[in-house]
Structure 1
């Protein structure tokens, strides 16, 4: 991410309801002008984070910091934050214009400025000319556009979006994903988007926080999260994964399904038990003689732009493969992949442990290289 001004921080934020821990010592930092996504299953704590930012909830411990000031006890109405909800939450007794004008009118803005603001926001969400429409005359997608326009009319520094697209059909969701990203870039406002849809998160975000059980499992760019999952939960939740047990014999050499394979991972202990991840789209079929593994095609299904094929190796491991050409059920074929397609994970490793391991490994390598250079010079 590009360096920019920090707008929000959570410092060891925790939230409990009685004996139930909802959030566990959350640390996060948001820069101004970025599109962030909180991604995770139901009950993971992502919507709770939005409520702590908006002021609907107060933390049990830790600090919520906005523009450098602790806002734990700041009332919701005094926060420069607006929220777009899944159920739109529009005023059914008001038309489109009055819904969008509601916030500016509360701020006592002059009516000519309100009219200018409403027209600007409706143009932004592609609803120019809808000012006099009743809310119940609009489709679901149009109502969500009005909700977005109403939130943006308040000029928030931070816009929170709590699964705003989940009630819409797939095609409309795709359209609004693109429009939301365009709006965010045009206005330069920080967006915090909540979803359980990993495809949506990967398509829209600058930065993703993957959550489960009240903990941030991993954070990073969409590419980081997808290509380098730190643990089994992230690997399975973000996209499809083939995960098999293995042994990291040494740096860049892993043993699984009875064979040794070169790879690009390092920093494990010699002969450490690990989990090996291979994404379905990184696997290809070839002849049994040329394959790194030999598998039997068990079943397949057509997914539109690819075939999803299930194949079984001789150790009874099931491999999911995504290819553009169909296979033949019962056929014996080779399975091939490149060293960089193999991703190695330690069992139950946290993101902090993952980062610390890589950092220590890089420092050890730098020291060894420095020592070698020194010996060479003295020779």
Structure 2
């Protein structure tokens, strides 16, 4: 294969073996990653997982205890935030309430002592880009939450950053506006072609917006990959449970492509493990089909159900008292005994304690 399209892009930002501690508490543990130009990246994890600490290290607001921060291959550990070619948008937007929309967006350009003509031209271009044309004189306190979000983005974009860091910027918005802003941010990033690093604890938000996700917990990157990779092939119990809803039960890997759980053998799509190794099994609720008992691979008794609008969320239990979540377009009677079906490809097998590098290598052996 020839041609530039097969060449890997040079990372715009790299972290190499980043550790960070405060007193005796280790916040980041040997974090390494690469961020390519023009992609939408998301750091996803629960509160206190370390995702914002990673963003602050990249921005220059926090110093790592050890490790290197690289921008275009050059070390920038000692370069202050205002000298780095990236901008940060915080959760509270940090807008100046005494300045109007135009003045807020122009603030950084005035600090750079740009001419009035250049400031006017660049601000008007950005206003059009974020769909705020005509609101130049509007007081900040008169704006909606979504408009404030756009002003915050515009104030960063007007400085032509190579990368935009967004620290949970949608968390203060109501559910409907939050979803609208997800689409707007994603469309804006694709149109601009600059790198976005987005911080969130919202799994659906991460899956909807990202080219690439880093799942963080306890200061470590547990898994990284595309949204489809992360959802379909979680590396461990935490990732499987944190990303979407999951049915997770213990099992035994009998041999390649054959796994045993709830006392039965099932064909599966996983391989590369030791014979009779203890494993965990993941089955997503949307992959389970309700059928008659005689046609089902498992038999369960329905305990309860909730109507979610486009599906019923059903909770059922098997004879070993394992709980099963099922998503179905049809309702069922409480206490009904039914069968559930699934395909071999729906079964995902996880090893205990497997690291991402070993997990990726194992996937390659049977994907080839």
Q: What TM-score results when the alignment is normalised by the length of structure 1?
A: 0.94
Residue 274 of structure 2 corresponds to which residue in structure 1?
A: 269
Cα deviation for residue 144 of structure 1 reads 1.1
Would you say 1:333 and 2:335 are equivalent positions? no
In the alignment, the residues of structure 1 paired with residue 335 and residue 278 of structure 2 have an alpha-carbon distance, to the nearest angstrom, of 32
Query: What SS does the aligned partner of 2:41 have?
Result: strand
Cα deviation for residue 327 of structure 1 reads 1.2
Query: What SS does the aligned partner of 2:294 have?
Result: coil
Q: Determine if contact 2:166/2:197 at 8 Å carries over to the other structure.
A: yes
Q: Determine if contact 1:273/1:346 at 8 Å carries over to the other structure.
A: yes
Would you say 1:10 and 2:15 are equivalent positions? yes
Q: Determine if contact 1:14/1:62 at 8 Å carries over to the other structure.
A: yes
Would you say 1:164 and 2:169 are equivalent positions? yes
In the alignment, the residues of structure 2 paired with residue 140 and residue 200 of structure 1 have an alpha-carbon distance, to the nearest angstrom, of 18
Residue 154 of structure 1 corresponds to which residue in structure 2?
A: 159
The 5-angstrom pairing of residues 184-333 of structure 1 reads 184-333=189-338
In the alignment, the residues of structure 1 paired with residue 131 and residue 350 of structure 2 have an alpha-carbon distance, to the nearest angstrom, of 45
In the alignment, the residues of structure 2 paired with residue 358 and residue 143 of structure 1 have an alpha-carbon distance, to the nearest angstrom, of 44
In the alignment, the residues of structure 2 paired with residue 357 and residue 311 of structure 1 have an alpha-carbon distance, to the nearest angstrom, of 33
In the alignment, the residues of structure 1 paired with residue 353 and residue 176 of structure 2 have an alpha-carbon distance, to the nearest angstrom, of 37
Cα deviation for residue 145 of structure 1 reads 1.0
In the alignment, the residues of structure 1 paired with residue 362 and residue 330 of structure 2 have an alpha-carbon distance, to the nearest angstrom, of 40
Equivalent pairs, count: 363
Query: What SS does the aligned partner of 1:289 have?
Result: helix
Deviation per CA, 1:103-128: give whole Å up to 9, x if none.
11111222112112111112222111
Cα deviation for residue 358 of structure 1 reads 4.1
Q: Which runs of 4+ in 1 moved over 6 A?
A: none
Deviation per CA, 1:120-177: give whole Å up to 9, x if none.
1122221111100010111111111110110111110010000000000111011100
Of 114, 121, 139, which residue of structure 2 is paired with 1:116? 121
Q: Determine if contact 1:232/1:348 at 8 Å carries over to the other structure.
A: no
Deviation per CA, 1:186-245: give whole Å up to 9, x if none.
111100000000000000000000000000000000000000000000000000000000
Would you say 1:39 and 2:44 are equivalent positions? yes
